[in-house]
Structure 1
Amino acid sequence: MGSLFEELEAREATARKRVEALEAEVAEVSGRLSAAREGLERLRIARETVAEVLAEMTPEKPGVAVDTDRSSAVDSVASAYAGAERHVIGVLTVPNWQPGMGAEVLPRVYRDILEVVTDARGPVRAKQIVPRIGLPAEAGKIEGTRSKLKRLVERGWLDEDTPGMFTPARRRGGASPNSR
């Protein structure tokens, strides 16, 4: 019977080595997955930042005229960035609010932010909005959301009566008090 126990111990040792090898592989793949996710997140942030910069460019800044006439905006972006791999279609991602305009014209993240502010009982801060739109409460996400909130204020979708406190826009006479 001694040889049966020895055989079982040998098989257990082999199985243990296999488990350890697989755990090492999992750790390596997990590290590579984490690095790939981090790279993906950096690329997403870079793309969003470029889109925001292009959206904020004014006629005084070289290259692009921000205009509600989409065809002229596209032409000026194409000429300003001739030779770029991608052409930007429409520079103004958050249009100025106009009577009769609904939130459906906004990009998805802006609609989510607008919905949270509208549903709130009172003024809200960026750090209160971030978890409600499904983002982690990290400084970078809060600052990005604050930037989007400020853009919604300057385009007439929201009001900011107290710095950092955002409310739905009170429209007087058919126009937002914040619209230009």
Structure 2
Amino acid sequence: MPSVMGLLEERERAARQRVEVLQAELGEAEAVWERFVIARETVGQILAEPRGSAEDSSLAGAGERPVQVAAAGPGSVVPVRRDGLEADALAPGYRRIMEILQERGRSGGGAMDCRQLAVALGLEPVPAKVEGVRSKTKRLAVRGWLAEASPGMFSVVGGRGGGS
């Protein structure tokens, strides 16, 4: 029969090896995570810079034109609203929300809540769908595309319809 101390030492050794393996995996995962954090911060800084700045022209070589950026696609970041930036810069799902709220404003209606927007988008007014719409409208409001007159009530920012 093996000794109790021998069994404990064996289990301790196995646990230590497992910890070392997990620490190595954790180190790799943290390195990947740090790269994503840096990439997100860099993209955020680039999107926060006004287009057509002096930096843009200095990046292009002598006689070269700056590269035109394509319109946003599904799953892309919502840019901060600034003069000259139209709603076409938004991803299709965000553009559709803007169109609905612009139409509502033109017809004399006021702000809409996320449940009303979900229905107008053709979605079922179930919590999961409404929360998806809420996430998008909040993002548009934070970045200056929409106004949140009262909590949960959204409308297009006055005087800046975002194009169309």
State the TM-score, normalizing by the size of structure 2.
0.51
Distance across 1 between alignment mates of 2:47 and 2:127: 36
1:67 and 2:55 correspond? no
1:128 and 2:97 correspond? no
Q: What is the CA-CA distance between 1:68 and the residue it aligns to?
A: 2.5
Name the CA shift for 1:69/1:155 in 2 (closer, same or farther; >3 Å): closer
Q: In the alignment, what sits opposite 2:150?
A: 162
| Paired residue total | 94
Q: In the alignment, what sits opposite 2:128?
A: 140
Helix, strand or coil: the match of 2:154?
Answer: strand
Helix, strand or coil: the match of 2:79?
Answer: coil
Distance across 2 between alignment mates of 1:118 and 1:136: 22
Structure 1 unaligned blocks of 5 or more = 1-60, 71-88, 175-180
* Identity across matched positions, percent: 33
Q: What is the CA-CA distance between 1:146 and the residue it aligns to?
A: 0.5
Distance across 1 between alignment mates of 2:144 and 2:77: 14
Q: Aligned runs of 1:11-22 on 2, under 5 Å?
A: none
Helix, strand or coil: the match of 2:45?
Answer: coil
Q: Aligned runs of 1:29-178 on 2, under 5 Å?
A: 62-63=37-38, 64-65=40-41, 66-68=44-46, 93-120=77-104, 121-170=109-158
State the TM-score, normalizing by the size of structure 1.
0.47
Structure 2 unaligned blocks of 5 or more = 1-35, 49-72
